[in-house]
Every structure is written in structure tokens, then in C-alpha cells.
Amino acid sequence: MNFIEIVETVGKVIDGVGVAIIALGTVLAAGIAIGRMVRKTGDVYRNFRNQLGRTILLGLEFLVAADIIRTVAITPNAQSVAVLAGIVAIRTFLSFSLELEITGRWPWQQTPVEASASR
């Protein structure tokens, strides 16, 4: 097995981990939400969205890592790097948007948006 095959395999494994995190996290979040609905405890919808958002964020991080590994190690030409930059930009925007939805603040903010707006 040569270097390129090893890197490709590592990239595929990390991709698989990212997809598995999203799939298993979704099932787990749904199971917890169903349990809360049955027991009628807490804000089921908000908790479900928060757990699902965190799952997606973690999965996206693995998917970005796999893309970076494969692009930089296997095909480091201008076109593949430009495609990678686009993918990373889109996924970064999604990550920031999900972070804002989950926590009520941008990743670089110290306090929630609602608290700073009321001052």
C-alpha cells in the first residue's frame, strides 16, 4: 500500500466517522426527544434542535477534516484547492449558523445576543 492509498483510506475513514456521528446523533437525539415527549418534561423541540445541531456541527468538523486530508495530500493542484476552499467556506458558514441557533451567539462572542441587545 503506497502513501496515496493510505491517505485516501484515512480520508474515507474520517468521512465515515463524520457520517456515523451525524446518523447516530440524529437517532440518539430523536430517542431522547421521544422519551421527553412521553414523560412531558422540558421544551422537547428546543432540546431536540440543540442536540441535533451539536451532532451536525461535530459531524461537519470530521467531514471538513477528511476533505482537507484528501485534497492536500492527494491532489494539491489549484483547482482542487479552490474546490476545497469553497467546501470549507460553505461548511464554515453552516457551522457558524448552527452555533448561533444553538447558543444564541456567534462563536467569537462572549455573551448571548439577547443579553447584549438588552443593554
Q: Which residues contact 104 (CB under 8 A, 6 or more apart)?
A: 112, 113, 114
pLDDT confidence of 112, banded at 50, 70, 90?
low
Helix, strand, coil percentages in the chain from 3-state DSSP, rounded to 5: 85, 0, 15
pLDDT digits (tens, 9 = 90+) for 5-32: 888 899 999 999 999 999 999 999 999 9
CA atoms within 13 A on the CB side of 60: 19
What local confidence, expressed as pLDDT, does residue 95 receive? 81
CA distance 82 to 117: 38
pLDDT at 113 over 80: no
pTM: 0.76
pLDDT digits (tens, 9 = 90+) for 55-101: 998 998 899 899 888 887 777 788 888 888 888 888 888 888 888 88
| 3-class DSSP assignment, residue 40 | coil
What local confidence, expressed as pLDDT, does residue 13 receive? 95
